[in-house]
Amino acid sequence: MSESIFPSWIELDIPALKRNFQFFRNRIPRQTAIYPVVKANAYGHGISEIVNAIGPLSDGFCVHAAEEASRIPGNKPILILGHFPEEMGFLARLMLDRRPVFTITSEIQAAALDRAAKAAGTPASVHIKVETGTQRLGLPPSDAFKLMSKLRTFENLKLSGFSTHFANIEDTTNHQFAMKQLSIFNSFRNSLTQGERYRFHCACSAAALLFPETHMDMVRLGISLYGYYSSGETRLSSMQQGLQPEDKLRPVLSWKTRPVQIKAVAEGDFVGYGLTYRAHRSMKIAVLPVGYSDGYDRGLSNSGYVLICGQRAPICGRICMNMMMVDVTHISDISCRDIVTLIGHDGDEQITAETLASKSGTIHYEVLARINPLIPRVPVD
């Protein structure tokens, strides 16, 4: 279906996606699996589109919830990092269809999985999450040992791995706390008997980039797959380690639209709700069919800009639910056929998710993840 019938559309740079993946594949030992994280609609990029594009290169995929696992095409392994319901019918069907690995932190979760696995007639594989300092999901090492022992009483469960997650490896150039967490996890790892082979994993994008000792058996490749460093601090740390300009990650997602009206505004006229913008001269504005219901942050009202014909067009007035207005006085011969770039390149200009995040007081993760999943995603080779 042509994107032209939609108010806006997303373009996915598939060569950039594959290049970002290969950048990490070249830095990570081949025996270490790489599982792209495709939770939150693949960080706003489209879960089906990303899985179909990167599936042949990946070793498996990570999602947050069991519901997401049910929507992943293909047959690559799936690790559920977070939520799954205790509803036996759903879990049994999921086990039969996809055989995902479940992350657990309680005996109650284990019992629910055991019942569903018995109904499905197939054992369920589980990883225990170990708390090392993030104080999110996870069990302290002593409780993880206890749960590990209790799992032996469930006939339909197989313990296959352990994980943890860093609290402060992205937003700092001082990685002392992350190294403390790594030490706790390694101590737990080393205390296990070596008779049975488990999979251990802790590395997110920043850890995978900066600390080879975190690679272990699996890397959970998140934001950097999509072309962004985890933070400015991560970028700086990578430069201090000698990464060169040719190692630069490339954003995969571009967001585009077209004007629905171009109109004259007289000096002194107000633009938009709340009368927050008043024309200080005669001007020309373009009305765009994108607003906060599409995931374009209302905080960009009167402060953001878009790109049209290779030039910046400042936002005038408040972002509406389905529309916004931009100043195009300086752009000659603009028409409703022209493409407007909300995120992406146009000529020598570029808007990234980081650009929008800095102007709206948030992070690029949120900018991407909040893009309305109903907007079509168009893979571009």
Instruction: Specify whether 135 is located in the same domain as 208.
Output: yes
Indicate whether 273 belongs to any domain.
Answer: yes
Which among 247, 267, 298 is the end of a domain? 247
C-alpha span between 185 and 165 (Å, rounded):
10
Dihedral sign for Cα atoms in the order 92, 97, 99, 102: negative
C-alpha span between 134 and 178 (Å, rounded):
10
Residues designated as active site: 39, 273
Which among 195, 217, 247 is the end of a domain? 247
pLDDT at position 1? 44
Instruction: Specify whether 299 is located in the same domain as 357.
Output: yes
The residues, ordered by sequence, that sit 6+ positions from 319 with a Cβ below 8 Å of its Cβ are 291, 292, 296, 297, 298, 300, 301
pLDDT, tens digit (0-9, with 9 covering 90-100), for 113-139: 999 999 999 999 999 999 999 999 999
Q: What is the tally of structural domains in the chain?
A: 2
C-alpha span between 19 and 246 (Å, rounded):
11
CATH of the domain at 104: 3.20.20.10
Instruction: Specify whether 77 is located in the same domain as 173.
Output: yes
Instruction: Specify whether 373 is located in the same domain as 303.
Output: yes
User: Out of 90-99, 121-130, 226-235, 239-248, which region has the weakest mean confidence (pLDDT)?
Assistant: 239-248
Q: At 289, phi and psi to the nearest 5? A: -85, 50
Instruction: Specify whether 217 is located in the same domain as 272.
Output: no
pLDDT at position 381? 86
Instruction: Specify whether 152 is located in the same domain as 294.
Output: no
CATH of the domain at 323: 2.40.37.10
Which structural domain range is residue 307 located in?
Answer: 259-380
Confidence of residue 4 (pLDDT cuts 50, 70, 90): low
pLDDT, tens digit (0-9, with 9 covering 90-100), for 304-326: 999 999 999 999 999 999 999 99
pLDDT at position 244? 76
Nearest in space to 14 (alpha carbons), one of 202, 370, 326, 253:
253
Distance of CA 128 to the CA centre of its chain: 23
Instruction: Specify whether 237 is located in the same domain as 265.
Output: no
C-alpha span between 279 and 265 (Å, rounded):
7
User: Out of 183-197, 299-313, 361-375, which region has the weakest mean confidence (pLDDT)?
Assistant: 183-197
Which among 191, 225, 247 is the end of a domain? 247
Instruction: Specify whether 86 is located in the same domain as 190.
Output: yes
pLDDT at position 195? 59
Mean per-residue pLDDT, 77-92 = 96
Cβ atoms of 361 and 374 closer than 8 Å: no
C-alpha span between 350 and 100 (Å, rounded):
39
Nearest in space to 163 (alpha carbons), one of 197, 123, 126:
126
Mean pLDDT for the chain?
A: 96
Indicate whether 309 belongs to any domain.
Answer: yes
Share of the chain above pLDDT 70, in %: 98
